[in-house]
């Protein structure tokens, strides 16, 4: 029978009262058998008690819908006079297609450009300039088509080199830049952010992933109606000013984060190798040839489908009255008409992998091995034992660190993690090899640890320790308005916001037999891709002056 007498939860650390013992510490002290049995009994009761306490922590989420299909999630908390507000567009790079990869991420940028009343001093002239820009861009796209034909004939070597542009294109580019200069004279840069900051808002940001795009900020409770107006306006009446120049910003972001980092371009290539048919195979930032080719007409169509109210979820967490705040939401967000088309599901499934894939790369990094296995999507019943399996292997007290870093000294760092996304999932494990050892040695040592999980059940105490760490992690994610907001954003974006309350119970119910079953099912040679990274040799210096 569980008892809470022996435990006390101080923030994230668990202490056994009277015994002065932290059950999460690595390496048991030298104790006589009688004391050790007493501590194990206390530990068992403590773990049972803390799990029961954390399982009881539920977030009081109220779910409502507007007539236009907008989903609303409200969490009333009066701990502080502020509100964390955000919304999720159920669209990410997986909803794209070849030719417009990167468009979901582009919209993350465009949604901060303003409205008819925010971001410009002369909206009528703003519209005129945008229309003129489109006429010029149509002619530039005709030139792009000719350039692609020349590339296929071998007449030019790189479509993205400025010097390979046709003379007609360069002339049109000058016209377009003149229009950009004219528009900048009437723009009010970053006005969206300035309005929020003047009202006490903080932490305004956004992100795009494979499956979602999210926008969020914290505002004082007495500025919540400002948030209602600002957010409903940018959904209802967005103005995609600076559309083409912003594509250049996104392209530069891709260059800095992917092409100019030691492992960025290799990770992108490895990801494309791993996913054969699924849209997860292309990067969220988009392929280099697609980003500059996206047209505003394509963007308008994309927005009309994926930013319609029935494809959005509005989330508020903080100091408000649920009934009165929903009345305000209805007032502001009911103005947005429902979309004409339902956002389609991602229907292209990953084909079953039939053979191991391997990639060898020389990079400016320490030698390492990275391994991916195909697993399951968010909400699948096998996600929970796979997640716990990852925790058994990972962390400072996990099997990979103990075996490969501390005991055998093959690696300087290790990792393991189950990643369940909306449409599919993967498990990642790997390690950085220690000086004098090869990545292949680390690879084989990782397989040896997984084979142990396939042969032997995880001991009860080790399993309970992992479960308790998961429970504590779930608890920590519920300690502030912003933390709860981001938890709801993640779960709703992946398909089910109720996981904020339900996931921990599912983790706690996982058995050692289930961990063994998924270890046998998913961790096969035919189901994996292996990336071996070795240090790139230094370029010899030239003797020439």
User: For 269-284, what is the mean pLDDT?
Assistant: 97
Token duo for residue 80: 């502080």
pLDDT digits (tens, 9 = 90+) for 302-359: 999 999 999 999 999 999 999 999 999 999 999 999 999 899 999 999 999 999 999 9
DSSP 437-500: --HHHHHHHHHHHHHHHHHSPPPHHHHHHHHHHHHHHHHHTTSSHHHHHHHHHHHHHHT-TTHH
Closest CA to 43 of 461, 509, 470: 461
Residue 29 pLDDT exceeds 50: no
Per-residue confidence (pLDDT) for residue 544, from 0 to 100 = 57
Q: Which residues contact 186 (CB under 8 A, 6 or more apart)?
A: 120, 121, 122, 125, 126
Residue 221: predicted pLDDT:
97
pLDDT of res. 131: 94
Q: What local confidence, expressed as pLDDT, does residue 15 receive?
A: 27
For the chain, what is the domain count?
Answer: 4
Same domain, 384 and 520: yes
Q: Is the pLDDT of residue 16 over 90?
A: no
pLDDT of residue 33: 38
Mean pLDDT of 73-89: 97
Q: What is the pLDDT of residue 505?
A: 95
The DSSP call for residue 21 is B
Mean predicted confidence (pLDDT) in 364-372: 95
Q: How far apart are CA 482 and CA 351, in angstroms?
A: 38
* C-alpha to C-alpha distances, 249 to 132, 243, 254, 502, nearest whole angstrom: 21, 10, 9, 40
* HSE-up (13 A, CA, CB side) for residue 405: 17
pLDDT of the residue at 345: 94
Q: What is the pLDDT of residue 52?
A: 54
| Average pLDDT of span 530-543 | 79
Give CA torsion, residues 74, 509, 210, 113, to 10 deg. 20
Q: What is the pLDDT of residue 45?
A: 38
Q: Are residues 511 and 367 in the same domain?
A: yes
Is 510:385 a contact under the CB 8 Å cutoff? yes
Confidence tier at 26 by pLDDT (50, 70, 90): very low
Q: What is the pLDDT of residues 138-189, one digit of tens each?
A: 999 999 999 999 999 999 998 888 888 899 999 999 999 999 999 999 999 9
Is 230 part of a structural domain of the chain?
A: yes
Q: 79 in a domain, yes or no?
A: yes
Res 1: pLDDT: 31
Could you tell me if 124 and 248 lie in one domain?
no
Choose the final residue of a domain: 348, 368, 391: 348
User: Do 420 and 365 touch, CB atoms closer than 8 A?
Assistant: no
The pLDDT confidence band at residue 539, using thresholds 50, 70 and 90, is: low
248 pLDDT above the threshold of 70: yes
State the Cα–Cα distance between residues 117 and 421, nearest whole angstrom.
38
DSSP single-letter state for residue 164 = G
Question: Is 81 a member of any domain?
Answer: yes
CA distance 400 to 442: 10
List, for residues 57-80, the tens digit of each pLDDT value.
Answer: 789 999 999 999 999 999 999 999
Instruction: Supply the range of the domain harboring residue 204.
Output: 60-110+189-348
Looking at the fold, whether 103 and 161 belong to one and the same domain comes out as no
Q: Do 230 and 307 have their domain in common?
A: yes
pLDDT of residue 57: 73
CATH number, domain of 296, equals 3.30.830.10
Residues 505, 399 within the same domain: yes
Does the structure show a pLDDT above 70 at 384? yes
- Position 27 scores a pLDDT of 35
Residues 168, 43 share a domain: no
- Per-residue model confidence (pLDDT) at position 56: 60
Domain termination residue (choose one: 348, 372, 392): 348
- Cβ count near 293 (within 10 Å): 19
C-alpha–C-alpha distance, residues 141 and 168, integer Å: 11
Q: What percent of the chain has pLDDT over 70?
A: 88
The distance from CA 133 to its chain's CA centroid, rounded to whole angstroms, is 34
**Whether residues 306 and 446 fall in one domain:** no
pLDDT digits (tens, 9 = 90+) for 115-128: 999 999 999 999 99
319 contacts 80 by C-beta, under 8 angstroms: yes
Looking at 223-274, list the stretches that DSSP marks H as alpha helix, in order from N- to C-terminal side: 224-236, 243-254, 264-274
CA nearest 302: which of 213, 217, 242, 420? 213
Please check whether residue 540 lies inside any domain of the structure: no
- In a shared domain, residues 183 and 195: no
DSSP code string of 42-66 = HHHHHHHHHHHHHHT----EEEEE-
Alpha carbon distance 440, 292 (integer Å): 40
101: DSSP letter = T
List pLDDT tens digits, range 433-478.
999 999 999 999 999 999 999 999 999 999 999 999 999 988 888 8
> In which band, very low, low, confident or very high, does the pLDDT at 542 lie, cut at 50, 70 and 90?
low
Say if 545 falls within a structural domain.
Answer: no
CA–CA distance from 418 to each of 30, 149, 164, 424 (Å)?
35, 44, 45, 11
4: Cα separation from own chain's centroid = 37
The average confidence (pLDDT) of the chain is 88
pLDDT at residue 228 in the model: 97
Please indicate, yes or no, whether residues 183 and 166 belong to a single structural domain of this protein.
Answer: yes
Q: Which two tokens stand for residue 271?
A: 């990801």
210 in the same domain as 293: yes
pLDDT category at 255 given cuts 50, 70, 90 is: confident
The reply to whether 71 falls in a domain is yes
Domain boundary among 187, 205, 238: 187
Q: Is residue 542 in some structural domain?
A: no
The reported pLDDT for the residue numbered 308 is 97
541 part of a folded domain: no
Strands (E), 379-512: 411-420, 425-433
Do 387 and 524 sit in the same domain of this protein?
Answer: yes
pTM: 0.86
**Tokens 């009994």 belong to residue:** 41
pLDDT tier at 251 (50, 70, 90 boundaries)? confident
H and E: helices and strands count for the chain: 17, 13
């Amino acid at each position: 029978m569980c008892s809470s007498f022996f435990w006390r939860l101080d923030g994230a650390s668990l202490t056994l009262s009277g015994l002065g013992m932290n059950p999460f510490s690595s390496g048991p002290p030298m104790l006589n058998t009688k004391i050790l049995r007493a501590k194990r009994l206390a530990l068992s009761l403590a773990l049972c008690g803390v799990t029961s306490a954390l399982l009881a922590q539920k977030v009081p989420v109220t779910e409502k819908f507007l007539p236009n299909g907008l989903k609303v999630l409200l969490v009333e908390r009066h701990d502080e006079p502020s509100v964390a507000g955000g919304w999720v567009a159920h669209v990410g790079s997986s909803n794209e297609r070849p030719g417009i990869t990167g468009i979901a991420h582009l919209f993350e940028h465009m949604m901060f450009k303003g409205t008819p009343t925010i971001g410009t001093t002369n909206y009528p002239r703003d519209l005129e300039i945008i229309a003129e820009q489109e006429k010029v861009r149509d002619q530039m796209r005709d030139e792009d088509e000719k350039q692609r034909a020349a590339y296929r004939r071998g007449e030019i070597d790189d479509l993205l080199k400025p010097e390979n542009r046709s003379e007609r294109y360069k002339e049109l580019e000058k016209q377009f830049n003149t229009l950009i200069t004219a528009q900048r004279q009437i723009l009010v840069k970053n006005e969206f952010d300035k309005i929020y900051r003047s009202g006490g808002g903080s932490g305004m940001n956004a992100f795009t992933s494979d499956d979602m795009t999210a926008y969020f900020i914290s505002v004082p409770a007495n500025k919540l109606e400002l948030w209602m107006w600002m957010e409903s306006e940018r959904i209802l009446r967005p103005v995609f000013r600076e559309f083409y120049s912003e594509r250049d910003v996104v392209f530069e972001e891709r260059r800095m984060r992917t092409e100019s980092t030691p492992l960025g371009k290799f990770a992108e290539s490895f990801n494309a190798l791993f996913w054969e048919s699924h849209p997860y195979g292309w990067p969220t930032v988009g392929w280099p040839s697609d980003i500059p080719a996206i047209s505003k007409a394509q963007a308008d169509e994309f927005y009309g489908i994926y930013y319609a109210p029935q494809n959005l979820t509005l989330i508020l967490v903080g100091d408000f009255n649920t009934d009165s705040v929903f009345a305000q939401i209805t007032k502001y967000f009911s103005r947005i008409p429902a979309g004409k088309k339902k956002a389609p599901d991602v229907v292209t499934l990953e084909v079953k992998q039939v053979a191991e894939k391997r990639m060898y790369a020389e990079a400016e990094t320490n030698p390492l091995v990275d391994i991916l296995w195909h697993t399951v999507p968010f909400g699948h019943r096998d996600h929970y034992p796979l997640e716990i399996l990852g925790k058994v292997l990972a962390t400072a007290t996990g099997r990979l660190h103990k075996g490969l870093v501390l005991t055998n000294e093959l690696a300087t760092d290790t990792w393991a993690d189950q990643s369940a996304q909306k449409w599919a999932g993967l498990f990642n494990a790997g390690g950085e090899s220690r000086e004098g050892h090869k990545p292949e040695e680390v690879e084989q040592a990782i397989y040896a640890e997984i084979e142990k999980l396939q042969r032997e059940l995880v001991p009860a105490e080790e399993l309970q320790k992992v479960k308790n760490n998961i429970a504590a992690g779930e608890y920590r994610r519920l300690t502030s308005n912003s933390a709860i907001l981001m938890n709801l954003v993640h779960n709703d974006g992946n398909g089910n916001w109720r996981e904020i309350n339900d996931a921990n119970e599912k983790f706690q119910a996982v058995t050692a037999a289930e961990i063994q079953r998924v270890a046998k099912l998913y961790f096969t040679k035919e189901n994996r891709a292996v990336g071996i990274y070795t240090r790139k040799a230094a370029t010899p210096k030239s003797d020439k002056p």
